């Protein structure tokens, strides 16, 4: 078991449970303890200085979701005979998402449909599995490959690892951060079951040329998955507001699946995403059935088994309570705030924004180590996401940043931070370094970093030592 770490910050305040308690605690005492921790943790992101993570930030909205979840949290969404409401919720969540993604453009040649999953990773894993099965069942491909940009979410590699596909990683243009379409074209083979593009990618907030990828998918009769986990529930509203958003949805005939996280800019509770399909035949590749099991005929629509009906109910409630006008209203503020923050970054000569982003952007410096700036901004309460190859900082603008005063605070702190980064207190930044010094070679670096990452994962799941 690990020693105490930042992940165990409550170990000195509350008893650490290392076994099942002999007797239960009063409910009001348990709730008071939970409330104390939650209030402290919420106070950080409520400042609006945290990139991404909390997409809504509206406590009354969270209270509303809690009520909706509470009515169905004890329900197993598998039991549709007992809980037909789950069929209504799931079907309408999918229908609303398909409408947002312009699935009507896919008709009448196909039958758009979808699946509700537990998040972006499950949506991506499900897509990878569906394409593997499609390649095997429809094309006889036994050694399937997928081609994805270097900037694609690592969940695709996770899916390929789990389901036995080969990943061909396409480079991106260093200036635009967009996938090299020529590379993709040159590497399509009879083993290719799917191409991948991002709308937008997590790191830089830029949108790959889905139009070009769509043309390639049609030319070679292969699948095309658009990862819109981050942008799926906000980019359509940005387009409706008049922002220049490249097309990425089912209006492009080569797009066969799209993942979009309702628990991000859909403002649903965590544990909710939609995997949209151009046609039912591809979704069917996810179905698992066994007719001869002693426990009865078994059928499952995807990777997950039991699911809380509360997630479906609260996701449905979030979407119908906001409607088109609510999503447009919030999207307008987010886009305006993001572009205002980007303008502030551009006003500093040492800083450079990567690509042509919208609500989510990344910036670096060719003059100084960007992590010196990160050190300073952390002292001012900002929490950016750090990036590498090249080193950069990522800011995903959400509703908390749209509060009055946040952009002004960003302007003031960024100016002071740039001055600090030009003449930092120490040569090596505190953030972005390798713990324990710099090993000698690349292999040693990789192994050292892996050890740190394993230790972090262990610390997040184990209690501290006594």
Q: For the chain, which domains are there? A: 85-317 (3.40.640.10)
Identify the pLDDT of residue 431: 85
Pairing verdict, β 145-149 and 166-170: parallel
More confident residue, 430 or 372: 372
Q: Which residues fall within 8 angstroms of residue 50, CB to CB, at 6 or more apart?
A: 44, 382, 383, 400
Does pLDDT of 214 surpass 80? Answer: yes
3 pLDDT band, cuts 50/70/90, is low
Q: Summarize the confidence of residues 253-272 as an average pLDDT.
A: 98
Does pLDDT of 343 surpass 80? Answer: yes
- The 3-state secondary structure of 189-247 reads CCCEEEEEEECCCCCCCCCCCHHHHHHHHHHHCCEEEEECCCCCCCHHHHHHCCCCCCC
Does pLDDT of 440 surpass 90? Answer: no
Its sign, for the CA torsion 119, 193, 208, 282, is negative
3-state secondary structure of 166: strand
Q: How far is 103 from 255, CA to CA, in rounded Å?
A: 10
Q: How far is 259 from 101, CA to CA, in rounded Å?
A: 10
Identify the pLDDT of residue 437: 35
Q: Which of 214-228, 293-307, 429-443 has the highest mean pLDDT?
A: 214-228
Q: Residue ranges of the alpha helices (H) in 46-196?
A: 59-72, 85-100, 120-139, 155-163, 181-187
Share of the chain above pLDDT 90, in %: 83
Share of the chain above pLDDT 70, in %: 92
| Mean pLDDT (the chain, rounded) | 92
Q: Summarize the confidence of residues 202-208 as an average pLDDT.
A: 97
Identify the pLDDT of residue 434: 37
CB 357 within 8 A of CB 204: yes
- The number of C-alpha atoms within 13 Å of 168 and in the hemisphere containing its C-beta is 21
Buried b (16+ CB within 10 A) or exposed e, 119-153: bbbbbbbbbbbbbbbbbeeeeebeebbbbbbebbb
Q: For residue 331, give the nearest of 412, 253, 263, 266 by alpha carbon.
A: 266
Q: How far is 123 from 156, CA to CA, in rounded Å?
A: 10
Q: How far is 207 from 356, CA to CA, in rounded Å?
A: 8
Q: How far is 83 from 251, CA to CA, in rounded Å?
A: 35
User: Model confidence over 134-172: pLDDT tens digits?
Assistant: 999 999 999 999 999 999 999 999 999 999 999 999 999
CB 290 within 8 A of CB 298: yes
When mean pLDDT is compared across 60-74, 132-146, 157-171, 448-462, the lowest value belongs to: 448-462
More confident residue, 69 or 6: 69
Query: What distance, in Å, lies between the first and last C-alpha atoms of the chain?
Result: 9
Identify the pLDDT of residue 4: 58
Does pLDDT of 329 surpass 50? Answer: yes
Does pLDDT of 435 surpass 50? Answer: no
Supply angle C-alpha 297, 302, 306, rounded to 5. 70
Q: For residue 119, give the nearest of 264, 289, 299, 293 by alpha carbon.
A: 264
Q: How far is 340 from 410, CA to CA, in rounded Å?
A: 10
Cα 343 to Cα 270, 337, 338, 361, 405, distances in angstroms? 31, 10, 9, 11, 16
Identify the pLDDT of residue 1: 43
Pairing verdict, β 192-198 and 166-170: unpaired
Identify the pLDDT of residue 80: 85
CA torsion angle 30 35 40 46 (round to 10): 150
Identify the pLDDT of residue 452: 67
CB 409 within 8 A of CB 418: no
CB 222 within 8 A of CB 185: no
Q: Summarize the confidence of residues 113-121 as an average pLDDT.
A: 97
Q: Which residues fall within 8 angstroms of residue 247, CB to CB, at 6 or more apart?
A: 210, 211
Q: For residue 58, give the nearest of 260, 359, 265 by alpha carbon.
A: 265
Does pLDDT of 5 surpass 90? Answer: no
CB 113 within 8 A of CB 280: yes
CB 466 within 8 A of CB 11: no
More confident residue, 295 or 274: 274
Identify the pLDDT of residue 456: 63
The maximal CA–CA distance of the chain, rounded, in angstroms, is 71
Q: Which residues fall within 8 angstroms of residue 104, CB to CB, at 6 or more apart?
A: none
pTM, 2 dp: 0.92
Identify the pLDDT of residue 337: 98
Structure tokens at 147: 């081609």
Q: How far is 291 from 265, CA to CA, in rounded Å?
A: 40
Identify the pLDDT of residue 9: 85
354 pLDDT band, cuts 50/70/90, is very high
When mean pLDDT is compared across 120-134, 217-231, 447-461, the lowest value belongs to: 447-461
User: Model confidence over 277-299: pLDDT tens digits?
Assistant: 999 999 999 999 889 899 888 88
3-state secondary structure of 148: strand
Identify the pLDDT of residue 107: 81
Does pLDDT of 118 surpass 80? Answer: yes
Does pLDDT of 447 surpass 60? Answer: yes
Does pLDDT of 323 surpass 50? Answer: yes
Identify the pLDDT of residue 193: 98
Q: Residue ranges of the alpha helices (H) in 3-119?
A: 27-45, 59-72, 85-100
Identify the pLDDT of residue 459: 63
Does pLDDT of 115 surpass 90? Answer: yes
User: Model confidence over 401-422: pLDDT tens digits?
Assistant: 999 999 999 999 999 999 999 9
């Amino acid at each position: 078991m690990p020693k105490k770490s930042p992940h165990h910050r409550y170990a000195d305040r509350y008893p650490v449970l290392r076994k099942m308690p002999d007797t239960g605690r009063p409910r009001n005492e348990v709730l008071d303890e939970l409330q104390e921790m939650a209030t402290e943790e919420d106070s950080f992101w409520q400042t609006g200085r945290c990139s991404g993570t909390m997409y809504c930030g509206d406590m009354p909205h969270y209270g509303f979701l809690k009520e909706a979840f509470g009515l169905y949290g004890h329900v197993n969404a598998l039991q549709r005979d007992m809980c037909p409401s789950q069929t209504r919720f799931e079907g309408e969540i999918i229908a609303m998402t398909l409408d947002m993604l312009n699935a009507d453009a896919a008709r009448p040649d196909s039958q758009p449909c979808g699946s509700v999953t537990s998040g972006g990773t499950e949506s991506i894993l499900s897509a990878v599995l569906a394409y593997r099965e499609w390649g095997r069942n429809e094309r006889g491909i036994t050694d399937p490959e997928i081609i994805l940009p270097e900037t694609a979410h690592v969940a695709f590699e996770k899916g390929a690892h789990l389901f036995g596909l080969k990943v061909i990683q396409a480079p991106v243009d260093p200036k635009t951060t967009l996938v090299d379409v020529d590379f993709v074209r040159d590497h399509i083979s009879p083993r290719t079951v799917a191409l991948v593009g991002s709308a937008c990618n997590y790191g830089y907030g830029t949108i790959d040329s889905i139009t070009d990828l769509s043309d390639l998918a049609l030319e070679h009769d292969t699948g095309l998955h658009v990862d819109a986990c981050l942008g799926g529930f906000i980019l359509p509203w940005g387009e409706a507001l008049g922002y220049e958003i490249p097309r990425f949805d089912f209006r492009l005939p080569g797009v066969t699946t799209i993942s979009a996280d309702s628990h991000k800019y859909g403002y649903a509770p965590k544990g909710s995403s939609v995997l949209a399909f151009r046609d039912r035949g591809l979704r069917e590749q996810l179905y698992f059935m066994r007719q001869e099991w002693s426990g009865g005929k078994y059928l499952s629509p995807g990777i997950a088994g039991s699911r809380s009906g509360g997630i479906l109910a609260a996701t449905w409630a979030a979407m119908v309570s906001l409607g088109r006008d609510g999503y447009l209203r919030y999207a307008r503020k987010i886009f305006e705030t993001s572009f205002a923050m980007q303008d502030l970054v551009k006003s500093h000569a040492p800083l450079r924004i990567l690509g042509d982003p919208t609500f989510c952007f990344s910036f670096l410096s060719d003059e100084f180590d960007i992590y010196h700036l990160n050190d300073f901004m952390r002292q001012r309460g900002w929490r950016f996401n750090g990036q590498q190859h090249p080193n950069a900082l990522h800011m995903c603008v959400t509703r908390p940043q749209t509060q009055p005063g946040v952009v002004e605070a960003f302007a003031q702190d960024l100016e002071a931070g740039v001055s600090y980064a030009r003449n930092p207190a120490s040569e090596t930044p505190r953030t972005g370094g390798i713990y324990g010094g710099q090993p000698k070679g690349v292999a040693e670096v990789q192994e050292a970093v892996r050890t740190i990452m394993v230790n972090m994962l262990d610390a997040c799941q184990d209690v501290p030592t006594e």
